[in-house]
Chain A
Amino acid sequence: MAYRKTVASLVAAAALLGTSSASYAATDITWWHAMGGKLGEVVNQISTDYNDSQDACSLTPVYKGGYEDTLTAGIAAFRAGEQPNIIQVFDAGAATIIGAKGAVVPVEDLLKANDVPFNIEDYIAGVRYFYADSDGKMIGMPFNSSAPILYINDDAMKKAGVEAPKTYEEFEAITPKLKEAGYIPFVQSHLPWEFVENFKSRHNLQFATNNNGYEGATGTELVFGEPIKNHFKAAKKWLDEGLFGYYGTGWADNQQPFNEGKVALWIGSSGSFGGIADTVDFPFSATFLPYWESVEGANKASFIGGAALFAMSGKSDEENKCVASFFEYLTTPEVQYMWHKETGYVPITEAAYALAKKDGHYERTPAAEVGIQQLSLPGGEWTKGYRMGFYVQIRDVMNRELGKVFSGEASVDEAFATIKADGDKLLARFAKTIDN
């Protein structure tokens, strides 16, 4: 009996398969991404919705592990001629893929070639140029865009009788009270992103020569001045006084004490919002990443974090047309709003932001708006972004040397001297790989 049933179902399945592939010859495109867990579910949902919305193209999303894994897999596949149509590349890998001339079809060209209307002004200010070339042409389609923001344990504020700080000066005034109230006053979760890159952006400070690296790889060098060194000297002092907690390079190790309610103020990603809302059992809110008022011209927008989608080259026009059509679908206000609402990543177009406002999303959850507000703060000369090759390794160098500061193995000045020396060496090596 069982045997018969199996055979019958197999035949039925084969028949179904036959009809489905015969009934419409949809063009298959693949999308390699790095969105695990809850985020991956939303990615799958978007793909399914897209496939249901039209018949010509069939999109398959494939989870390839973390950001670094996805980029490495994409590179290996490209070299073997088996690259996916779309690959998600994170901020630190942007220079690698954009620098390799010919690895991708610029999204602006792709959309225009396939008659999809494109206007860079439709995108929110913060995301327009981060994944663009030096002429301002958009190369990668911003996808999951986030900003580092300050999460606040409201119970801790109430218990200590203080208000959440906007500046590090205000922060220094309230930390002793938070400590007295039994909390670890302050924890971050990603030193290069939150304390270096966005420190540069929030204070409108130059990060690298050659216009933060946008004007070419050759001769690009890191720039570190007094403000950032003073920031780390202050942070080391807070650490020694028990006002700041540092739990290593791992993001989760630093988030966990906040989730457990032991930490008063935590810098996380605007994309952490959905996860925290599901996990913690205390009331929380969020505000902008703090800045030092003493640094002139501070309180500017932060860099866009997260990742972008790149259309890889070497694909047929037919497949590229499908990629363009998917990008068009992805940037519709409805899809962007759904992505924003489910994950906490910011909507990338003005229209989607307007839709979220109209729908009352921010009245229900004010913390969800902090990321996009911060990205919409006035920009400055140095807030557009940065473009540096081998940047994954440069971040590793930062984590290593700044970790030494917190473990007492190196002084702040020594650490930044090493970061600059090793970082500049990596940048020079990268320049040699692409400018030849």
Chain B
Amino acid sequence: MWRACPGNRKARHVVRGEAMKKVQFNTPAVPYLLLFPQLAIVAVFFLWPAAEAVRSSFYLEDPFGFGSTFVGFDNFVDTVTSTNYGRVARFTGVFTFLVTILSLGAALLLAVKADKVLRGASSYKTLLMWVYAVAPPVAGLIGILLFDQHVGPIVKFVALLGWHLQIGVDYYDTAFAMIVASVWKQIPVNFIFFLSGLQSISKSVQEAASIDCRSGFRRFWTVTFPLLAPTGFFLLIINITYAMFDTFGIIDVVLKTEPGNNPVTLVYKVYLDGFRGNDLGGSSAQSVLLMIVVFILTIIQFRLIERRVHYT
């Protein structure tokens, strides 16, 4: 007989511990002193460069630094009106979405399955995790070997299916390779977090749920998944950041630093224009735009999504 499965609400056992004891320092200087190293690092490695980027985004400067002219918003106008910028921004959006969804989805599936494995569980988990230790450029390198136009086994395999895959020539083929390499690289991180999230769900909740509901699939969506939400939310942020910024190494290796007619992300374009093209003003304007995007994204994440996440 079909039985109603528990809804989200019922599954949430909010266990509150004792209110935390208040600890206070005797002198007000100590906490600041303890905070200082962290604040110093933030100031030196984030605030200062960010301020510098904002400043130089309003100037046009010759690469050697002999003179710079204040140009107001010219750099921003030039950036936004260039035909290519829109194309790069669109690709970055699609790329970030696909890499995030695919790496989260695949990792969740693998974690749920790994959680159920009884025999040989540790070797199975290790196999899934070791990719985590691979550095992004190495992941990119493995990727381009597999996808190489002349010797790549993946290229030879899909050729049998009638797909003439050409990295570096066809825009979409290159995008495909970048996404595959980026997702592959990110799955282990997500897997580790999802697995530990799954293992921290108390057995009693799961047993109660399995008495209430026979369908494992429904049980997953109504009980397990909501309990995983804090982990999932954390991973969502991490993965979006990863896809937008940390995939730089993979993209660089896949492109062999020759952008050509290949997809690039916004971050990679900042690098290309700034470090390869020596256009500091234009590159700074792009990074300021990117900062604004990240800022908006962070607000959205914490305002809209986190509200729906319940921490136990």
Contacts and interface: CB of A to CB of B under 8 A. Distances in A.
A320 interface: no
B115 interface: no
A407 B168 contact: no
A247 to B, nearest CB: 6
Contacts of B60: 429, 432-433
Interface string A412-436: 0000001001100110010011101
Given A249-B258, A400-B259, A418-B83, A434 B62 contact: yes
B261 A409 contact: yes
Contacts of B84: 397, 400, 422
Given A96-B63, A248-B149, A396 B277 contact: yes
Interface centre among A71, A250, A406, A426 (most CB of B within 10 A): A250
Contact of B276 (A68, A252, A409, A432): A68
Nearest to A400: B261
Interface in B44-102: 60-69, 71, 78, 82-84
* Chain B contact patch, size range: 35 or more
A422 B83 contact: yes
Given A72-B278, A390-B277, A399 B66 contact: no
A78 B169 CA distance: 37
Nearest to A246: B169
Given A247-B149, A253-B149, A400-B260, A407 B170 contact: yes
A79 B150 contact: no
Contacts of A249: 168, 258-262
Interface residues of A, number: 48
B261 A404 contact: yes
Per DSSP, chain A at the interface is helix
A110 B52 CA distance: 36
Contact of A399 (B64, B260, B276): B260
B261 A399 contact: yes
24 contacts: A66-B257, A71-B278, A96-B63, A97-B64, A103-B66, A247-B150, A248-B166, A248-B258, A249-B168, A249-B258, A249-B260, A249-B261, A250-B258, A250-B260, A253-B150, A393-B273, A393-B279, A400-B259, A403-B262, A407-B171, A421-B83, A422-B84, A433-B61, A436-B69
Given A390-B279, A436-B67, 13 more contacts: A78-B64, A103-B66, A247-B150, A247-B168, A248-B167, A250-B168, A257-B150, A260-B150, A392-B278, A396-B277, A400-B260, A429-B78, A433-B68
Interface of B: 60-69, 71, 78, 82-84, 149-150, 166-171, 256-262, 272-273, 275-279, 281-282
